[in-house]
Each structure stands twice: as C-alpha cells, then as structure tokens.
Amino acid sequence: MAVEYEATAAGSGSSATERFLSKGSVGAASSPERVDMLVGEVLGAVHETIRRHEVSYDEYEALKAWLIQVGADGEWPLFLDVWLEHVVEEVATEDREGSQGSIEGPYYVADSPRLPAEASLPMRDDEPGTPLVFQGRVTDVSGRSLSGAHVEMWHADDYGFYSQYAPGLPEWNLRGTVVADEWGRFRIHTVQPAPYQIPHDGACGALIAAAGWHAWRPAHLHLKVSAAGHRRVTSQLYFRGGDYVDDDIAQAVKPSLLLDPTPTADGTSNEVTYNFTLDPE
Ligand code: MBD
Ligand code: FE
C-alpha cells in the first residue's frame, strides 16, 4: 500500500508553473486559421455540453471560480499533464517504429548531473525504499548500438516526492543523466518509487473530490533517452501488478511500459532489464 503524505499545491504546483514560464515555451505555435478551427471546435463542444445537460448559472460560476483557482494555485501544468498530455503524446508519437513512450509530466528538470554508464542516481545516505537496479541497452531500429546515448532518469522517492518540487530534498535527488557505454548499455542503481498522489489542497484536488475520482498515479520511473541523429523518447515505466497500474488518473500506462523486476540473488534489491529502440530523426 502507498504511504500517505501531505501533498501541497503550494509546494509542487507553483514551482512547476514558474519553471514552465521561465522556459519561455509559450508562443505562437499555429496560424490564425488553425487557432480559429481548434478553439472554435473546443468551444463548440463546450456549448453543446451546456445545452445537452442544461448547465445552470450556479454551475457556470463554480467553473469560473475553479478556473481562476487553478491559476492562483499554479496548477495549470499539473492539470494539463494529468488530463490532456496523454493524447498529445499519442498523436505526436503514433508513427514511431521504436520504443513507445509516455507523457513527460510536470516535474522534469533538464541538465541533471551527468553520470557514467554504471552509476547510482544522486540520493541521500539513508534513502528509503527498495533498491532497484535498472539496466538495458539503447539501439537504433535495426539493432545497432547507440554508443554514448543519454539516459535521463527522474522519479519520486519512497514517499512520492520529487526533488525541486517538494521541500527538504537535495537538489538533484533521484535525478541523473547516465551516458551509455560504447555498446549502448547502462546500469542505474536507484530505489523503487512510490505511487504519486495529486496534491489535494489545490484546485486539481478540489476537482478530484467534486467528481468522486481517486488522486493517484501508479509508481513510475520517468525517462528521456536520446542519441545524436535519433528521435528522443520520453517515457515512463511502471511496475506490473502495482497499485493504480490499471487505473492511472493520468491515463499514461501502456502494456509495453510495464516492468517485471526480480529480486537479486542476495534478496536485498530488485533488478530489471529494459531496452530502448530509437527511431532515426
Ligand atoms: C506526476 O508525477 C506525473 O508524472 C504526472 C504525469 C502528473 C502528475 C504527477
Ligand atoms: Fe511523475
């Protein structure tokens, strides 16, 4: 069972907003014709829902207050990545031949410490959780080694907290960029993450409570795997049979992303092999 903890919107949502804005990634991505079509369609669908279900003024005002609160809580990255990103990811990667991926989510940080092909992620001396050895190989679609590929990994700790988004954790805790060896191999020592609970004191938590949903994502490892001349794969890997694997609030689980770790001979840790195949650019 997952460990209960106090997730705060103030702690994680607002730092995700700040980081996203400072990336400067907000800009004109589409022509006026396309904006007209996309926004027109979305608004048309909302209008249709209002008519079909006879949405009242009270409900309209509740929506208005809630939308304002999402911004005030800094939870737009959380809201969008939990409820929309999985479809954007599906559309963006449907032509891939190589490894499938999943959503990035709100807690990626670029430029994590660079580590050799066999390495431990930065962690505290007494880092809680079952040790996990995550190993594999990065190849192209014809099976050729991608020497020196970068395997970026970030994940929550045993309590479901991400460094840089929860107070009290070392800056790069459980985040690293592992450089694969000349055969594309890597071996990463870390600990198994816990399931992640969406913060419940903010607007997203209020929506979840109002709709009677649960607030959980299954335990997951986040990865970005890249090599020169190849398409980067952003992925998440899950633990088969774990809580919420079949019921992820972010709908970001795919069968090819399930891990089956096995205990090592001495029984002190789990070990799993997972290989990545990158499409050409
Ligand atoms: C997460 O850890 C996450 O990966 C996503 C997609 C949304 C919220 C929290
Ligand atoms: Fe996550």
Q: What is the mean pLDDT of each run of 10 residues along the chain (281 residues)?
A: 46 70 62 93 98 98 98 96 98 97 97 98 96 98 98 96 95 98 98 93 97 97 98 98 97 98 91 98 95
| Residue 51 CA to ligand 2 centre (angstroms) | 37
pLDDT at 38: 95
Distance from C-alpha of 14 to C-alpha of 77, rounded to nearest angstrom: 9
The answer to whether residue 161 sits within a structural domain is yes
Distance CA 207, CA 195 (A): 20
Residue 82 Cβ contacting ligand 1 at under 6 Å = yes
The CA distance from 205 to 198, in Å, is 7
- Which listed ligand is nearest to 154 at the C-alpha? 2
Cα of 232 vs centre of ligand 1, distance in Å, is 19
CA of 220 to the centre of ligand 2 (A): 6
Q: Would you call 126 helix, strand, or coil by DSSP?
A: coil
Cα–Cα distance, 200 to 217 (Å, whole number): 13
In a domain? residue 26: no
The verdict on residue 37 lying in a domain is no
Please name every residue paired with 120 in a beta bridge, in sequence order, or none if there are none: 189
Residue 105, ligand 1, Cβ within 6 A: yes
Count: domains in the chain:
1
| pLDDT value of residue 4 | 42
Q: Is residue 254 part of a domain?
A: yes
CATH of the domain at 178: 2.60.130.10
Residues 66, 242: Cα–Cα separation, whole Å:
32
What domain range is 240 assigned to? 114-278
In a domain, 188, yes or no: yes
Q: Would you say residue 230 lies in a domain?
A: yes
Phi, psi at 222, each rounded to 5°? -95, 140
Confidence at residue 11, expressed as pLDDT on a 0 to 100 scale: 60
Ligand 1 touching residue 103 (CB < 6 A)? yes
Query: Measured from the CB, is residue 89 less than 6 Å from ligand 1?
Result: no
Ligand 1 contact, 193 CB (< 6 A): no
Q: Residue 30's pLDDT is what? A: 80
**Residue from 17, 82, 214 whose mutation best tests the ligand 1 pocket (most atoms within 8 A of CB):** 82
217 pocket-lining for ligand 1 (C-beta < 6 Å): yes
Q: What is the whole-number distance in angstroms between the Cα of residue 107 and the centre of ligand 2?
A: 7
Q: What is the pLDDT of residue 16?
A: 76
- ipTM passes above 0.90: yes
Alpha carbons 43 and 70: distance in angstroms, whole number: 19
Best residue among 103, 161, 196 to mutate for probing ligand 1, ranked by most atoms within 8 Å of CB: 196
Is residue 61, in this structure, part of any structural domain at all? no
Give the pLDDT of residue 14: 65
Is residue 156 in some structural domain? yes
What pLDDT does 15 receive?
A: 72
